[in-house]
Amino acid sequence: MSDKPAYVPPAKNVLDNPKLRIDGPMLDGAKRRSQLSFELFRNNPRIAIYYNDERTKPTYARMEPDSFFFFLHCLEEIAKGTRKAIKIRNKHSYDAQGNKLPKPDVVSQTIGGIDEVTNKVFISVVEKDKPPLKFFFDPGFWYSVVDETNTPLPDDVLTRALCLSKIKFLLELYPIVMESTYEHPQRQGGGFGGQQRSNGGGVSNGGQKSDGWNNNSGGEKAQSAAPSSEGLFDDIAI
């Protein structure tokens, strides 16, 4: 029998409110639309993509506070029109299957930009062999927005306003939740148990155009001598 204590799920907090998620496309065969969720995992922010498809496991962008808040800052610049796009390569010590990597490597990318077709601000978290979905800042299905003449607001105006309001909300909420739920990691065997350091390093500014999203990246499991994947997702344009 293992002496390792059983995993205890963390207590729910306000970030678990499903109404804070951003709805995305519905995959073929899925029962519900995909969703993007802003979360807190082991004291640190992460962005999760839930495909709501039994065949596809969630994608996580595990980020440190610095890289997460930097991403929100860049997203704010995108909404204000002073930046075109941002791409953060999320490095981790484990791959998506939980295999230990020889050294921290890129396992996913967090992307923000303006969609060329809809002119809407979007977020995407891209991982090898996962559907590359875009999650737009828009009212979705639950409400619509009109001006004083009952004219619907243009999509390119509404999306920027919704993005900025979401960022303001997250910037105010995250520090409160992080402080109220913080648990100091316990040192185990020369390291801190439960703390898997992830670096939001490798920032790319957008500017290139593409007719679509391609994810033809290679990659091997940790047991093989795979080359560094610093440029693993460079074929995904923003």
Structure-token pair, residue 172: 């105010």
pLDDT the model gives residue 204: 54
pLDDT the model gives residue 6: 66
Q: Model confidence at 231, in pLDDT bands (50, 70, 90)?
A: very low
Q: Which amino acid is at 20?
A: L
Distance CA 99, CA 91 (A): 14
Q: 35, 58 in Cβ contact below 8 A?
A: no
Distance CA 166, CA 148 (A): 23
Distance CA 164, CA 40 (A): 21
**pTM (2 d.p.):** 0.75
Strands 35-41 and 22-23: antiparallel
99-154 pLDDT, tens digit per residue, is 888 888 888 899 999 999 999 999 999 998 899 999 999 998 788 999 999 999 99
pLDDT the model gives residue 188: 57
Q: Quick one: residue 145, left, alpha or beta (phi over 0 = left, psi -120 to 50 = alpha)? A: beta
pLDDT the model gives residue 220: 31
pLDDT the model gives residue 186: 77
Structure-token pair, residue 38: 């802003």
pLDDT the model gives residue 7: 59
Domains in the chain with CATH codes: 14-182 (2.30.31)
Would you call 213 exposed, middle or buried from its count of C-beta atoms within 10 A (0-12, 13-18, 19+)?
Answer: middle
- Which of 198, 161, 182, 220 has the alpha carbon at shortest distance from 47? 198
Structure-token pair, residue 234: 């460079």
